[in-house]
Amino acid sequence: MPAWLPRAMVMALALYGCFQLGSWAFHQLIGLLINILIAFFLALAIEPAVSRMSAHGMRRGLATFLVFLAVLIAGIGFVLLLGSMLAGQIVDMVEEFPKYLDSVINWVNQTFHTELSRVEVQDSLLHSDWLQKYVQNSATGVLDVSTTVLGGLFRLLMIFLFSFYFAADGPRLRRALCSVLPPARQAEVLRAWEIAVDKTGGYIYSRGLMALISGVAHYILLVALGVPYAPALAVWVGLVSQFIPTIGTYLAGALPMLIAFTVNPWYALWVLGFVVVYQQFENYVLQPKLTSKTVDIHPAVAFGSVVAGTALMGAVGALIAIPAVATLQAFLGAYVKRYDVTDDPRVHGGHRWRRGRPVVSRIRSAVRGGDGAGRTDADGST
């Protein structure tokens, strides 16, 4: 046996063990890493506001706290508006349930010639086995829901804490990162950080502005139709349609359609038509104008990045995919050398006339040349 073989085997086993240990640790910490990534992009989003406030003499920690307080107040207000709307709808459904039940029983009696009554139906439902099992399963599920809610609140608190530290100690974090890099690399890291802040902040700004415009437009429609809870529904449509990629528009439009259907079924069709028309206006008119100077990313690239982000990290990946890809695109654009494109029809997408005389002059010359050739042929034949 060669003398180096035992040492090589021990080294291979050690490397394999380190790989397995690292893989296990990564899978155990994947949730924490995703939370840190979300917190980092959230800190990048509020970085412009914090820097602007600190430039006016305010302490950076206090500025970060005020920004997060404003975000928290806005979030609580949105939840309260949505909760009041849902609570009102549930109360209305409970109060109107006997009428709905009577109408269904009357329809069944008239259609199938039965003699059902509400008392019989209620007694059969209350004493049925499946209802008791459903209540027992629901009681068990309440504990699971409570655990999920508490876990979500803890995760949200963790994200806010990391975001606060990233935003409040941004200069210190950049200084610590640059202290282990040579001067040339320091400039590149700071430039990349600046690009990330600009693109992420621009994405949030453009989405927020489009959410405001969308909310106002849908609010006007809902008020004109007399749909209840118009302010809450308008806020719902504006936020969900802009900050949930791909399916946000359809998810946002479903709730106003459902509420409008309770008022008048035709109102639901009006809401559906308005949502479709406004979506086209937003995609082809509003969004290109607002995002051309902020995110500046092709729609196909944006869609592909959302799909890739969803496949990698689910809903979180879908939310941060566009600013991440926009940052990468801007960073590569700053360092990739570009050249002039040749004057070729295959590049410009159509036939391009040669430079020289105007088109009309070339057409006249071609016509005259054809006439002269015809005359020459005629003279030669005679």
- Average pLDDT along the chain: 78
Q: Are residues 51 and 93 in the same domain?
A: yes
pLDDT-derived band of residue 138, with 50, 70 and 90 as boundaries? Answer: low
150: pLDDT strictly greater than 80: yes
Domain boundary among 131, 146, 180: 180
Q: What pLDDT does 46 receive?
A: 87
pLDDT over 70 (residue 139)? no
In a domain, 103, yes or no: yes
How far, in Å, CA of 382 to CA of 379, rounded?
A: 5
pLDDT band at 374 (very low <50, low <70, confident <90, very high): very low
pLDDT band at 121 (very low <50, low <70, confident <90, very high): confident
Question: Is residue 60 a contact partner of residue 168, using CB atoms and an 8 Å limit?
Answer: yes
Share of the chain above pLDDT 90, in %: 10
Say yes or no: 227 and 313 in one domain.
Answer: yes
Q: How many domains is the chain partitioned into structurally?
A: 2
Specify whether 170 is located in the same domain as 209: no
Residue 273, pLDDT score: 92
Distance CA(248)–CA(270), nearest Å, equals 19
Q: What angle do CA 296, 171, 333 make, to 5 degrees?
A: 25
Q: Is 164 among the domain residues?
A: yes
The answer as to whether 49 is a domain residue is yes
Residues 245 and 175 in one domain: no
**pLDDT(21) > 90:** yes
Residue 345 has pLDDT above 80, yes or no: no
Dihedral of the alpha carbons of 321, 325, 328, 333, in degrees to the nearest 10:
-170
Arithmetic mean of pLDDT, 348-364: 51
| Domain co-membership, 166 together with 301 | no
With respect to residue 207, please indicate whether it lies within any of the assigned structural domains: yes
Q: Are residues 169 and 213 in the same domain?
A: no
- Is 61 a member of any domain? yes
pLDDT band at 364 (very low <50, low <70, confident <90, very high): low
Residue 60 and residue 162 in one domain: yes
**Mean local confidence (pLDDT), 331-339:** 68
Same structural domain, 173 and 228: no
How confident is the model over 310-320, as a mean pLDDT? 76
In a domain, 328, yes or no: yes
164-197 per-position pLDDT tens digit = 998 888 888 888 888 888 887 888 888 888 888 8
Asked whether 148 and 45 are in contact (CB, 8 A), the reply is: no
- Across 35-39, 200-204, 289-293, least confident range: 289-293
171 and 267: one domain?
no
**Would you state the pLDDT for residue 339?**
72
Assigned domain for 216 exists: yes
**Per-residue model confidence (pLDDT) at position 15:** 92
218-269 residue pLDDT tens: 999 999 998 888 888 888 888 888 877 657 778 888 888 888 887 888 888 9
Nearest to 234 by CA among 251, 248, 221, 247: 221
179/164 Cα distance (integer angstroms): 22
Question: Looking at the structure, do residues 175 and 251 belong to the same domain, yes or no?
Answer: no
Structural domain containing residue 43: 30-108+155-180
> Are the C-beta atoms of residues 218 and 242 closer than 8 Å to each other?
no
Q: State whether 315 and 276 are in the same domain.
A: yes
Kindly report, residue by residue over 22-59, the tens digit of the pLDDT.
999 988 888 888 888 888 888 888 888 888 898 888 89
Assess contact for 246 and 306: CB atoms under 8 A.
yes
Cα–Cα dist 105/115, whole Å: 9
In terms of domains, do 176 and 264 share one? no
pLDDT at 375: 46
Distance CA 199, CA 33 (A): 22
